[in-house]
Amino acid sequence: MRIAVRVPASSANLGPGYDCMGMALDWFDEVTLTTLDSGIEVDVTGEGSEDVPRDSSHLIVQTFLTGLASLQVRPPAGLRLAAHNSIPHGRGLGSSSAAITAGLLLAWAYAHPQAQPDRQWMERIGTELEGHADNVAAVILGGLAIAWGSAEAGRAVSAPLSGDMRALAFIPHQAVPTVQARRVLPQQVSHADAAANTGRAALLVHALAQRPDLLFDATEDWLHQRYRAQLMPRSAELVTLLRAERHAAIISGAGPTVVVLGTEPMLDELARTPVPGFDRRLLRVGGPAHIVSVAEA
């Protein structure tokens, strides 16, 4: 059997939507799994190819096997995984959620080659593996996703999104590990900060769907970005500079990529402005992860 899937990048948090909001981006990794008589072969090209393992510890292979166990399906005797990565690793653009989703899609297609993926099953297993649902929900559902619940019982829904919404990404060359970015967050925040953040997160849902002119106010955050600034000073400085010009700039996920939300006319001039130390890319909203093909090898 030969199975091919495509999985999108994503931007989580979007400012005040910490661990509960994410958006898929039209930036895809492509993965193919071919069953073999024996052994495990892993071939990776593109982003991070020099750093990822080439054996059963590869995240996609691990997730594929976990997915099959959940579906109570015996794994193949052997497999070859070929992954072409275009999503940068460790930059806050959901590369690990893309890998997890790819593994789950491959498992589903192997177990049920003629059936549409059960995305609720994917959300449940993906959230358990990732530990939070914002990125993985956006990758699985596409567009804008709102997630809630625990790591063991995460749930998510698609939310309305303006058709002309764009994300302008400023991507630094240095990575910041997500575990490190989580470690610097405080265990408690003030009631005032929590209340302020709740109001902006609610406004953000409306701004993304109908009122892009409100995105600057809607993307202000009190819960995570200020605490992570020490890990990504140049990204934090760029957010400050962009917001001083009333751009809806945020740290994407755990960082250090900076994303500015808006419509194409809102972002057109900024998208042509180079920023030293950052690559820039104007992105449309992405569709969901999907199975490209299932065929006999």
Q: What's the pLDDT tens digit per position in 226-247?
A: 999 999 999 999 999 999 999 9
Q: Model-level pTM?
A: 0.95
The verdict on whether residue 94 carries a ligand-binding annotation is yes
The verdict on whether residue 92 carries a ligand-binding annotation is yes
Task: Provide the 10 A C-beta neighbour count for residue 177.
Answer: 12
Per-residue pLDDT, 248: 98
Angle between helices 95-111 and 119-130 (to 10 degrees): 140
Contact 122, 137 (CB under 8 A): no
The verdict on whether residue 107 carries a ligand-binding annotation is no
Q: Is 27 exposed, middle or buried (0-12, 13-18, 19+ CB in 10 A)?
A: buried
Q: Are residues 137 and 265 in the same domain?
A: no
Per-residue pLDDT, 131: 85
């895809």: which residue's tokens? 28
Per-residue pLDDT, 91: 96
Q: Are residues 148 and 174 in the same domain?
A: no
Give the residue, 151 or 89, on which the prediction is more confident: 89
The verdict on whether residue 56 carries a ligand-binding annotation is no
- The arithmetic mean of pLDDT across residues 123-139, rounded, is 92
pLDDT band at 223 (very low <50, low <70, confident <90, very high): very high
Could you give the number of structural domains in the chain?
2
Please name which of 31, 33, 32, 30 lies closest in space to residue 78, comparing C-alpha atoms. Answer: 33
Q: Are residues 111 and 205 in the same domain?
A: no
CATH code for the domain of 275: 3.30.70.890
Contact 294, 33 (CB under 8 A): no
- The arithmetic mean of pLDDT across residues 253-278, rounded, is 96
Residue 45 has pLDDT above 90, yes or no: yes
Residue 167 has pLDDT above 90, yes or no: yes
**Any idea what DSSP says for residue 164?**
T
The verdict on whether residue 88 carries a ligand-binding annotation is yes
Residue 151 has pLDDT above 80, yes or no: no
Per-residue pLDDT, 133: 85
Average pLDDT, the chain: 96
The alpha carbon of 199 is separated from its chain's Cα centroid by a whole number of angstroms, namely 24
Q: Are residues 230 and 198 in the same domain?
A: yes
Per-residue pLDDT, 62: 98
The verdict on whether residue 90 carries a ligand-binding annotation is yes
Q: Are residues 44 and 76 in the same domain?
A: yes
The alpha carbon of 4 is separated from its chain's Cα centroid by a whole number of angstroms, namely 20
Q: Are residues 131 and 24 in the same domain?
A: yes
**Tokens, residue 74:** 């015996």
CATH code for the domain of 116: 3.30.230.10
Domain containing residue 226: 165-284
Q: Are residues 113 and 206 in the same domain?
A: no
pLDDT band at 150 (very low <50, low <70, confident <90, very high): confident
Q: Are residues 171 and 97 in the same domain?
A: no
The verdict on whether residue 78 carries a ligand-binding annotation is no
The verdict on whether residue 6 carries a ligand-binding annotation is no
Q: Are residues 6 and 135 in the same domain?
A: yes
Residue 251 has pLDDT above 90, yes or no: yes
For residue 257, is it left (φ>0), alpha (ψ between -120 and 50) or beta?
A: beta
23: part of which helix (H) or strand (E)?
A: strand 17-36
Contact 143, 285 (CB under 8 A): yes
Q: Are residues 151 and 44 in the same domain?
A: yes
Q: Phi, psi at residue 23, to the nearest 5°?
A: -135, 130
Q: Are residues 98 and 222 in the same domain?
A: no
Q: Are residues 21 and 53 in the same domain?
A: yes
The verdict on whether residue 253 carries a ligand-binding annotation is no
